[in-house]
Amino acid sequence: MVSIVDVARLADVSIKTVSRVVNGEKSVRDVTRERVRRAIDELNYQPHRGARLMRGRNSGLIGMITGAITASGHSPNESGLSAIHIVRGAQQVCRAAGKTLMIADTMDAQNEVGSLLRTFEGHSVEGVIYAADYHRQVVFPLSRSTPVVLANCFDSAGTPAVVPDDYLGQRLATELLLEQGHRQLAMIGLHDEVLAAHLRRSGYLDACRAWGLPYESFRYHAGSVEQHESDAFAPLSEALRSVLDSDELPTAIMFGNDLMAMRARPQLAAAGIDVPEQMSIVGFDNDIGICENLQPSLTTVTLPYLEIGCHAAEKLLQMSQPEQGVAIERVPCRIVARDSAFPIPRPPDNVNSRDLTTMTAT
């Protein structure tokens, strides 16, 4: 182990001067600094973390707690994957800031969080990010000494948090369809127990109202995929049937996620409805495996997981400064336009939807 003394000896300066160079303090002459630098390089010297830490130095460690790694084993599509992108974002920012990210997994045991937090504190982390696998409210054990930022979730204690703007995402998707000329819409959202379902529902309804659509022209159904274990798609196909049986057939349907959209395709095909010519469909999540392999490729909304991770890390790194902003930060979703959302050819004079109704009556 090469220590600061060796460097000092080689550069013929005191250990303190080496310390100054290493820490980038300014009162060192250029010529001296250069000499020390050379010695450091030659010996391949690396400051000893332990010793540094003992002098109350920052550890350079950021802790990250997530269920992502475990979760990605079970769920078919995004559930686990989402948090992976959050980790990725946090990782990027931390690395740019010269911090090392320490990742630990809850292994799906929520009560593990406290013990992980203590482990992290034992390693003198400078802060902790907790990333949830889907947008929700959590109860995070308070830590007196360690700053915490929540990612993809929030709590009632006012812990700083970064969450996706589900409302905006659905609103943008709806407005895209409206701009394309669609005037008869339907949405089959996620299970009602999911927070995101409510937010997106509001985004959808608000957009429709803002565009002055008559009440009967935009419908909403809940059709879960995630929650029930067996017969997961029953609510979806039931909702879809209800939509297709209605008098005024919509020209576009938005789904709670890409998987639902994919599952709905055969049912639409069976009803003799062409996508996207007769019916535009829009998913949610931007699950590449689904979106790009579906025919036509699926227009969808992407949750900004990467950005959430970045912002969470940035928030954490800035938390030493007192100028705290808002506790909860919303990161906008983006539309990913592919081929499944299709502009209505003719102006919406209702002939269009009448046609469709006739065609699918067979």
Give the orientation angle of helix 195-210 with respect to helix 166-179, to 10 degrees. Answer: 40
> Residue 287 touches which of its own copies, DNA, none (CB < 5 to 8 A by kind)?
its own copies
Contact status: 1 vs DNA (CB under 7 A): yes
The Cα-based distances of 72 to 32, 79, 197, 249, 302 in angstroms read 53, 7, 21, 38, 18
**Segment contacting its own copies by CB under 8 A, of 101-109, 161-169, 206-214, 317-325:** 101-109
Phi, psi dihedral angles at 276 (to 5 degrees): -100, 5
> Residue 72 touches which of its own copies, DNA, none (CB < 5 to 8 A by kind)?
its own copies
- With contacts defined by CB under 7 A, how many residues of the chain interact with DNA? 32
Contact status: 296 vs DNA (CB under 7 A): no
Query: Which is closer to its own copies, CB of 54 or CB of 326?
Result: 54
Query: Which is closer to DNA, CB of 52 or CB of 136?
Result: 52
Instruction: Report the 10 Å Cβ neighbour count for 233.
Output: 17
- Between 285 and 324, how does the x/- string for binding to its own copies read (CB under 8 A)? --xxxx-xx-x----------x------------------
Query: Which is closer to its own copies, CB of 101 or CB of 185?
Result: 101
Smallest distance, its own copies to C-beta of residue 22, A = 12
Least Cα distance to 45 among 22, 14, 13, 20 occurs for: 22
End-to-end CA distance of the chain: 82
Yes or no: say if 94 and 110 are a contact pair by the CB < 8 Å rule.
Answer: no
Query: Which is closer to DNA, CB of 21 or CB of 93?
Result: 21
Yes or no: say if 291 and 338 are a contact pair by the CB < 8 Å rule.
Answer: yes
Query: Which is closer to DNA, CB of 15 or CB of 288?
Result: 15
User: And the tokens for 231?
Assistant: 């017969």
Yes or no: say if 217 and 183 are a contact pair by the CB < 8 Å rule.
Answer: yes
> Residue 20 touches which of its own copies, DNA, none (CB < 5 to 8 A by kind)?
DNA
User: And the tokens for 261?
Assistant: 């959209």
User: And the tokens for 252?
Assistant: 């576009």
Give the one residue of 19, 47, 175, 360 binding its own copies; rule: CB under 8 A: 47
Rounded Cα–Cα distance for residues 182 and 174 (Å): 9
Residues forming a β-bridge with 331: 164
Smallest distance, its own copies to C-beta of residue 235, A = 17
Which residues, numbered 15-44, are part of the site for DNA (CB under 7 A)?
Answer: 15-17, 19-20, 22-23, 26-29, 31-33
Rounded Cα–Cα distance for residues 308 and 169 (Å): 14
Contact status: 49 vs its own copies (CB under 8 A): yes
> Residue 22 touches which of its own copies, DNA, none (CB < 5 to 8 A by kind)?
DNA
Contact status: 70 vs its own copies (CB under 8 A): yes
Strands 218-222 and 61-66: unpaired
Strands 161-165 and 328-332: parallel
Smallest distance, DNA to C-beta of residue 234, A = 57
Give the orientation angle of helix 30-43 with respect to helix 15-22, to 10 degrees. Answer: 90
> Residue 27 touches which of DNA, its own copies, none (CB < 5 to 8 A by kind)?
DNA
Rounded Cα–Cα distance for residues 25 and 32 (Å): 13
Query: In the complex, which residues of this chain contact its own copies (CB under 8 A)?
Result: 46-54, 60-61, 68-70, 72-73, 76-77, 80-81, 84-85, 87-88, 91-92, 95, 100-105, 107, 118-124, 259, 262-263, 266, 287-290, 292-293, 295, 306
Residues in the site for DNA, rule: CB under 7 A?
Answer: 1, 3-5, 12-17, 19-20, 22-23, 26-29, 31-33, 45-48, 50-52, 54-57
